[in-house]
């Protein structure tokens, strides 16, 4: 399987949150507020994807104000929280944009992502994913969740589509 051929078709990237955009840890402070840590380079990678016209969506099984805030910060408009059945959210996204399965990538880390992995053209497991999920992945990141795995995938897609060097060139000209 040629991962570059799969990645060059991608028009939409679906992200899980806990274990993908974060390291999977959930912190509650003494006022019962939830705290999550996001990697800044993951966020920058998302913005680079969006500037190249690739849509980024979030489907997560939990509900969190922190996720809403991060999504807003990154201009991610399609956010499905509390998605007990991620396939339902996937169908809404797919129907809304009209993309075929092979134009969609999904990053996950646990067994609840298996239904999406069986559908999308490019299922991506973070390095520290559940072994049962990795069986369905066509790409496994070298980085772990919350520590640059999303950025790794953003670069993979942009390079496969021949867009990475022009991004670097823009920074060189600044």
pLDDT at 1 over 80: no
Half-sphere exposure of 97 (CA within 13 A, CB side): 22
pLDDT score at 128: 97
Number of domain units in the chain: 1
List all residues 6 or more positions away from 69 whose beta carbon is below 8 Å from its beta carbon: none
Q: Which long-range contacts (CB under 8 A, 24 or more apart) does 60-69 make?
A: 60/16, 60/17, 60/18, 61/86, 61/112, 62/17, 62/18, 64/17, 64/34, 64/36, 65/34, 66/34, 66/35, 66/36, 67/17, 67/36
User: Three-state SS across 72-93?
Assistant: HHCCCCCEECCCCCHHHHHHHH
When pLDDT is cut at 50, 70 and 90, the band that residue 17 belongs to is very high
- pLDDT tens-digit series, residues 43-76: 999 999 999 999 999 999 999 999 999 999 999 9
Provide the Cα torsion 105, 16, 56, 114; round to 10°.
Answer: 20
Domain range for 135: 3-173
Classify 40 as helix, strand or coil: helix
Q: What is the pLDDT of the chain when averaged over all its residues? A: 96
Single out the residue of 143, 90, 78 nearest to residue 118, CA to CA.
90
Q: Mean pLDDT across the stretch 151-163?
A: 98
Q: Mean pLDDT across the stretch 142-166?
A: 97
Q: What is the CATH number of the domain that holds 80?
A: 3.40.50.1000
Provide the Cα torsion 110, 71, 50, 16; round to 10°.
Answer: 0
List all residues 6 or more positions away from 85 whose beta carbon is below 8 Å from its beta carbon: 115
DSSP summary character for residue 144: P
pLDDT score at 64: 93
pLDDT score at 174: 78
pLDDT at 165 over 90: yes
- pLDDT tens-digit series, residues 102-138: 999 999 999 999 999 999 999 999 999 999 999 999 9
């Amino acid at each position: 399987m040629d991962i570059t051929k799969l990645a060059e078709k991608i028009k939409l990237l679906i992200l899980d949150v806990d274990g993908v955009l974060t390291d999977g840890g959930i912190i509650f402070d003494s006022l019962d507020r939830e705290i999550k840590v996001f990697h800044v380079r993951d966020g920058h990678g998302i913005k680079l994807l969006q500037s190249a016209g690739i849509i980024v969506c979030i489907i997560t099984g939990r509900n969190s104000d922190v996720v809403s805030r991060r999504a807003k910060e990154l201009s991610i408009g399609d956010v499905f929280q509390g998605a007990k059945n991620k396939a339902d959210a996937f169908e809404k996204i797919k129907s809304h944009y009209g993309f075929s399965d092979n134009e969609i990538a999904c990053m996950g880390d646990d067994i609840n992502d298996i239904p999406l992995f069986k559908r999308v053209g490019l299922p991506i497991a973070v390095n520290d994913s559940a072994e049962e999920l990795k069986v369905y992945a066509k790409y496994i990141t070298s980085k772990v969740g919350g520590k640059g795995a999303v950025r790794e995938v953003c670069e993979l897609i942009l390079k496969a589509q021949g867009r990475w060097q022009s991004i670097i060139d823009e920074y060189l000209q600044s």
